[in-house]
Chains A and B, each alone.
Chain A
Amino acid sequence: MAELIYSGLAKQFDGSARPALDGIDACIESGEFVALLGPSGCGKTTLLRLTAGFEEPTRGEIRMGDRQVAGPGHFVPPEDRGVGIVFQSYALWPHMTVAGNVSYPLKVRGLARAERTRRVEEALALTGLSEFADRAPAQLSGGQRQRVALARCLVAEPRAVLLDEPLANLDLALRASMQENFTAFHRRTGATMLYVTHDQGEALALASRVAVMEGGRIRQFAAPEVLYSEPVDCFVAGFVGDGAVVSARAAGPFDRSGLEVEALGMRVKVRSREALPTHLCIRPEDVSLTDEGGLRARVRGCTYQGGRFRVVVDAAGEDLVAFSRKRLVVGAQVGLRINRPWAFREPGVSAFPARVMVDA
């Protein structure tokens, strides 16, 4: 199993003004389960297709382990890369049976019949499809087709498994069970997996690390919990998880535990890696509704989410999100306390310390 290394990777499609990928630098460890997360058009599928070899990069290089598979003047076609791919449409060949689909990669490699049969049986057993071996893909349900696609991709023991929105065509209940399937699968095979999705729930639940993409660039590449609690910019803060992003100014000295900033018309103690942050990411967990809180706010909306209410409040002209155990009336006044939210510096925004700090 190999690691995937992208350096300076860019892709410009003919006739399109903006590059689809604009300088991707990333390294995926061997055996890692990585999700590419982003809105449609962010370049995540392009990155996947470049990795598979269906597209040639305009600039930059891709390495699989110690081998360059795409770079200036050098391109290894998909059939020689030894990667497996599961498509959103599954792309099962309708003229072959389930077993026929799964054994195709082995046939292409010229394996002997006995060896082929043994490995196909193994792959089908692993995906729980043994009894469907002789069926045509058209006779299977969505979830079963998904598993055939997975078995077909894994039977050849690929160096990396690429999954292109594999759950997008399944209904909600099935998605949850397929997610568990993927995790179990990854644990069992130890394959390097690259998973493209626009569903953050899926990405955060499955992947050991998530690359959040936007406008052809990777905005942040980190573990799910880090993305959630320590986003690096406004896009990631807004795209991943619930909550609010408000602007802020440093209002105190920076040390290991963070600093004090001025935001929402008051001083707030924040966690940060920046001496001069520009924004706060306030998660619902960071907000407690209490009458002793230093901040007054007006309730703008209240929706029940099972076990708790999600409350949107207007505090100093900003919409914050909080959780409440009781239903609140729209228009009611509440008190808030904000508990050490995350502060970051949005790239390209100049950061001024608050005047108070100049005084201090």
Chain B
Amino acid sequence: MTLSFAKRSSSRSEGRLLSWLLLPVALIALGPIVRLLLEGVGFGSGLTGAHLVEVISQGSTHRALVHSLVTAAGGTILSVLIGGTFAFLVALTNVRARGALVFCLMVPMMIPPQITALAWMQVTGPSSVMLKMVGLAPPLGSSQPLHSPGGIILLLGIQHASIVFLTLRAGLRQIPADLVEAARMSGAHGLRVWAQIVMPLTLPALGAGAAMAFVTALGNFGITAMLGIPARYSTLPTLIYQRLVGFGPSVLSEVAVLALLIGLVAISGVLLARWLLARRSHGLVGLSGQPLSISLGRARLPVEIALWTFIAAILALPLMALLFTSLIPAYGVSLTWTNMTFDAWVEALLRQPMTRRAYVNSISLAFGASAILMAVCLPLAWLMTRRPSRAARTIDVLADLPYALPGVVLSIACILAFLDLPFTDMTLYGTIWIILLAYLARFLVVMLRPVQASVGQLDPAMEEAASAAGARLGRRLRTIVLPLAAPAAAAGAILVFLTAVNELTVSALLWSSGTETLGVVIFNLEDSGETVMASALAMSIVLLIVFLMAGVQLLARRLPKGVVPWQS
């Protein structure tokens, strides 16, 4: 046995080499946002706030801001009602089949908003195939009731109920049964226990969930565009979209201000949520014992029936309406056994070059983003866990930003950053690469967090044992860390894929002819009146999503806690 000689720790210099990874990650994830901030203060045209003042004082800006706040607030209240009720019943009582309930409540969150909107539009309105089948359709010519602020609020509320549900359920699970028992022993009765013990303890979690639902609703583009644009009811995201589509890059600095405005509101919401969650955690540390569980007694069956009926109403009803619409030969016709046809499916999936291209684009983008992020996040998570430097910690904190900010904000930021590539004459605007870069920035945390959780749980001795066995850093990462973090990385990759394949908000602003994504195509098909084909395409995507979600579900048992978003 001989000692090979190294002047200085070779594994440590490998570690230092790895640190250079932080640079491209920071540039791609945070560069565009920094560029956007600079635009706000008039970077490039001399430091000036004139632009800022001009855009903000416009009447359309005011209207859109008010519309955004109203719909987001309304949607949030609805989300709190739905998500809160479900969270209390699922987390605290003895209802059965909770896993299935939770999974079904999560599906609306994973279905892209434009598909949700499309599906609900098939439930209501004069052309609803479903209503025609039962003879309840309103007379032709009457308006689509969902094309209104109320419709937007309703769908935003349903879409984001699961966010409130997840946060609140996590909070409720931390309430130990003995707190309630202690209150009972002190003589407090049912409602008093509820009002004085359970509610105060869950308020921070509820508040945090509400704040997050608000931020997500604020940035929602799919629903507000599908329902709001026909009703001429514009919110900030749709205003940005319409300006940019109408006038092209010449209005960039104007929409940048709008993006900053919505980003500012969103960041306030995120910070509020974080603050509320941090407050919750130190109140209830070190508690052991049974989590709280309330027996519903004879009310259990009725409650279960009510819950499943509700699930059927928000999930099965719109999806069935969507399915029915996709099976009719032409829009406006009723569905019968004899005229049922898969023509629209065949047309959408096999014949139309645009939809085929969109499938190829979306799947390649989603696949590319998850593969690149998987390759980057493994060493990145290792670096953050094992060699935490100041730079690594900063990126760790800021990596949430591109995901937390509304998609339109990130899109505008990416256009600004990549329109004229620094030091070259090239532009990425209009190519598929700008969408890929935006996806990489946006979905970095979706991949990073599960891998981080997994690497954090690894016993450092595993790597040290390999190191003592003679394996260098590269080999240790490949043969020890990678296989052990693989399930989390796979779950992360599926989540990135799932989110990216559905994505509309970012690509709606970044696409051009030839680089359409699935989200954009559904939007455009519906916009040009091809509702049947849009429904068929949407339905095929829903099937893909449920299939992928089931895949993650199967992996769930081998993953660290908190990796699967609907099982936290």
Contact = CB atoms under 8 A, between A and B. Distances in A.
Chains A and B belong together in one complex = yes
Interface of A: 52-54, 56, 64, 67, 69, 74-85, 87-89, 91, 93-95, 104-105, 108-109, 149, 152-153, 156-159
Interface in B119-146: none
A79 B464 contact: no
Contacts of B8: 74-75
A81 B462 contact: no
Contacts of B6: 75-77, 80
B292 interface: no
B467 A54 contact: yes
A80 B459 CA distance: 22
Given A77-B467, A91-B459, A152-B465, A108 B475 contact: yes
15 contacts: A53-B467, A75-B8, A75-B12, A76-B5, A76-B6, A77-B12, A78-B468, A79-B469, A91-B459, A91-B462, A91-B464, A104-B469, A104-B471, A108-B470, A108-B475
A79 B462 contact: no
A138 to B, nearest CB: 12
Contacts of A84: 468
Nearest to A94: B484
Interface string B465-488: 111111110010001100110000
B1 A82 contact: yes
Contacts of A69: 3
B17 interface: no
A94 B465 CA distance: 13
Contacts of B10: 77, 79-80
B393 to A, nearest CB: 15
Contacts of A94: 484
Counting from the closest, the 4 A-B pairs by CB-CB distance are A91-B461, A105-B469, A91-B465, A87-B461
A79 B465 contact: no
B9 interface: yes
B11 interface: yes
A78 B464 contact: yes
Contacts of B475: 108
A77 B9 contact: yes
A184 B5 CA distance: 33
B4 interface: yes
A87 B468 CA distance: 11
Contacts of B459: 89, 91
Nearest to A1: B1
B468 A83 contact: yes
Nearest to A158: B1
A95 B483 contact: yes
A81 B3 contact: yes
A69 B8 CA distance: 10
B3 A79 contact: no
B3 A64 contact: yes
Nearest to A153: B468
B461 A79 contact: no
Contacts of A149: 465
Contacts of B479: 104
B470 A109 contact: yes
Contacts of B480: 93
Nearest to B11: A77
Interface in B1-41: 1-12
A105 B468 CA distance: 8
A221 to B, nearest CB: 25
Contact of A79 (B7, B467, B483): B467
A108 B471 contact: yes
Nearest to B461: A91
A67 B469 contact: no
Nearest to A85: B468
Nearest to A75: B9
A283 B465 CA distance: 42
Contacts of A52: 464, 468
Nearest to B13: A77
A159 B462 CA distance: 21
Given A89-B459, A94-B484, A76 B3 contact: yes
A257 to B, nearest CB: 49
A74 B5 CA distance: 10
B470 A79 contact: yes
A87 B469 CA distance: 13
B484 A95 contact: yes
A91 B9 CA distance: 23
A108 B3 contact: no
Nearest to A155: B469
Contacts of B464: 52, 54, 78, 85, 87, 91
A78 B3 contact: no
Nearest to A70: B9
B468 A79 contact: yes
B430 to A, nearest CB: 45
Given A80-B6, A81-B468, 6 more contacts: A77-B10, A79-B471, A80-B4, A80-B5, A83-B468, A156-B1
Interface in B434-466: 459, 461-462, 464-466
A321 B345 CA distance: 91
A158 to B, nearest CB: 7
Contacts of A157: 1
B535 to A, nearest CB: 45
Interface in B181-222: none
A105 B479 CA distance: 12
Interface in B479-515: 479-480, 483-484
Nearest to A65: B3
A79 B471 CA distance: 6
B469 A156 contact: yes
A154 to B, nearest CB: 11
Contacts of B483: 95
A87 B465 contact: yes
A14 B155 CA distance: 53
A78 B12 CA distance: 11
Contact of A108 (B2, B4, B12, B469): B469
Contact of B461 (A82, A89, A156, A159): A89
Contacts of B471: 79, 104, 108
A105 B476 CA distance: 12
B14 to A, nearest CB: 9
B431 to A, nearest CB: 40
A54 B468 CA distance: 9
A210 B479 CA distance: 37
